Chains A and B, each alone.
Chain A
Amino acid sequence: MKKVKTLSGNTLKQSVKNGGCGECQTSCTVGNQSCENPNR
């Protein structure tokens, strides 16, 4: 692509299939977290 640089693909949509392990930290901020699930 000549005019676009993608910083992030459709990671949110993909995580429907490979997320949800529930082992991440609670968050009092969600958007600032990283996920350590090796299956993602």
Chain B
Amino acid sequence: MIHQYKNNGYDIVMDVNSGAVHVVDDTVYDAVAFLAEKLPEMDEPGPVPGELAAEVRQRLAGECGYSAQDIDDAMSDIQELIDAGELFTKDVYRDYVLDFRKRKTVVKALCLHIAHDCNLACRYCFAEEGEYHGRRALMSFEVGKKALDFLIANSGSRRHLEVDFFGGEPLMNWEVVKQLVEYGRSQEEIRGKKFRFTLTTNGVLLNDEIMEFCNREMSNVVLSLDGRKEVNDRMRPFRKGAGSYDLIVPKFQKFAESRGQMNYYVRGTFTRYNLDFASDVLHFADLGFKQMSIEPVVASPDEPYALQPEDIPQILAEYDRLAAEYIKRKKEGRGFNFFHFMIDLNQGPCVAKRLSGCGSGTEYLAVTPWGDLYPCHQFVGQEEFLLGNVDEGITNTEVRDEFKLCNVYAKEKCRDCFARFYCSGGCAANAYHYGGSITGAYDIGCEMQKKRIECSIMIKAALAEDN
């Protein structure tokens, strides 16, 4: 499968099945497009059939007006790419997925809902002020300890284990967070495991003691902030209505500096109220942050702040605007990292990882304050997805197996999508909440994801030019 696009003056050709990415000139770009109309994907590299090559040459001269020399060079380069197995290659990974079904399920990550309570009342919160359609609750050390024991016992031979402290607001149960980190560390040598702890916080309760502990023990922290003051305070107020920006920003700035501007993300949510969200990302940069992200809100379509299909063109244009500014600032020596523009073209994830995606429901589970297990934090509180609990383990194997088989080949909409090996089929929870099935796709999310991949590759091309 070939995907080709033009962005910011660059002509880019992706050979989806091999993972190859090429920056080409106009002649090659048009020649590949003509060839792709008729040339089937190849099991093994071979010459372009003479009749087709002649037809393409004729079209390049007649329809496009390229010179004979240009056409010769383009066709020669294309054949070289085919011979290298980097153009018109076949999808050979379907059999690989069959092997997945036989694999024993091991758990490698837990999202601990350490607090189903929150001191903010963010208007878009799917957890409904942190309570997840239920009651306020804090996880006890005993439940958390059982969760870590469950993770260790079910992780097979995997050495690296991940635990994310999530909520609600995790800092509302800070003592238990510290106790669980201490317990996890005490088990590492005994059980031959290495924990990677992470934390997501709204920053309200951040203080020097918490920062110091996090800098010592948390591999990554996610700091929630939506961008410009008026944008943030409209959506992230305290329960009594006051905005949170003025209290939180200085704390986050101090926290980011104390971590050496590494191993954190300031992350926002954008809604229909700020479709000019590139300005919010740039606001993060202007505040001195170096690691940032902004994510589209996921909400019921009848909410006034929910993204609508008609917003897509503006959203995609905004990613282009952000990409152009991203390159400009990088070249000026005042760059920043935007999570969705980070892409590793040489040492990216292996195909096994790309096919299996996020691992929700199998490798990754969410644990409620009372010890129930769900496929991920977005399914918490939906009883039909209850998998078991930390005492008995996974008891609902039917749901687990449904997630086990959820990969890009199980999703009809992904089969012909160029992005399938980059997004791995997208988020199961978004698909379920949007279309009622975890093997569906969240269309608005797909459009954004495809655009972000195109921007990421274009940025690589632009920055490679300078090197």
Please determine whether A8 and B345 come into contact, CB atoms closer than 8 angstroms: yes
Binary contact readout B372-412 vs A (1 if CB under 8 angstroms, 0 otherwise):
00001000000000000000000000000000000000000
Asked whether any CB of chain A lies closer than 8 Å to the CB of B334, the reply is no
Among B27, B84, B358, contact of A9 (Cβ-Cβ < 8 Å): B84
Instruction: Report which of A3, A9, A16, A24 forms a contact with B349, defined as CB distance below 8 A.
Output: A24
Contact B421 A12 (CB under 8 A): yes
Determine which residue in A18, A31, A33 has the highest number of CB atoms from chain B within 10 A of its CB, and name it.
A31
Q: Chain A interface: which size bin?
A: 35 or more
Question: Are the C-beta atoms of B20 and A34 separated by less than 8 Å?
Answer: no
Given the known interface contacts A30-B424, A33-B348, the answer about A6 and B86 at a Cβ–Cβ threshold of 8 Å is yes
Distance to closest chain A CB from B289 (angstroms):
18
Whether A12 lies near B96 (C-beta < 8 A) is no
Given contacts A3-B73, A33-B344, A37-B350, are A12 and B18 in contact (CB under 8 A)? yes
Complex partner residue of A7 from B89, B93, B464, CB under 8 angstroms: B464
Query: Within the assembled complex, what's the spacing in Å between the Cα atoms of A26 and B424?
Result: 12
Query: Is the Cβ of B350 less than 8 Å from the Cβ of A15?
Result: yes
A27 to B111, CA, bound (A): 12
Q: How far is the CA of A4 from the CA of B74 in the complex (A)?
A: 9
| Distance to closest chain B CB from A29 (angstroms) | 7
Interface string of A1-40 (1 = CB under 8 A from B): 1111111111111011011111111111111111101001
The residue of chain B having its C-beta at the shortest distance from the C-beta of A10 within the complex is: B18
- Chain A residues contacting B252 (CB-CB under 8 Å) are none
CB contacts (< 8 Å) of B85 on chain A: these are 10, 13
Contact present for A27 and B73 (CB under 8 Å): no
Query: Could you tell me if A30 and B74 are in contact, using CB atoms closer than 8 angstroms?
Result: no
Q: Is the CB of A32 within 8 A of B342?
A: yes
Contact B77 A3 (CB under 8 A): yes
Point out the residue from A2, A15, A29 that lies within 8 Å of B351, measured CB to CB. A15
Nearest CB in chain B: distance from A16 CB, A: 6
Q: Which of B20, B25, B424 contacts A8 (CB 8 A)?
A: B20
- Would B80 and A10 count as touching, CB distance under 8 A? no
Contacting residue for B354 out of A4, A6, A18, A30, CB 8 A = A30
Whether B22 sits at the interface, judged by CB under 8 Å, is: yes
Q: Which residues of A contact B (CB under 8 A)?
A: 1-13, 15-16, 18-35, 37, 40
- 26 A-B pairs with CB atoms under 8 Å apart are A3-B27, A3-B28, A4-B23, A4-B24, A4-B80, A5-B23, A5-B24, A10-B84, A15-B349, A16-B92, A16-B350, A22-B108, A25-B162, A25-B196, A27-B359, A28-B427, A29-B340, A30-B353, A30-B358, A30-B424, A31-B453, A33-B353, A34-B348, A35-B347, A35-B348, A35-B353
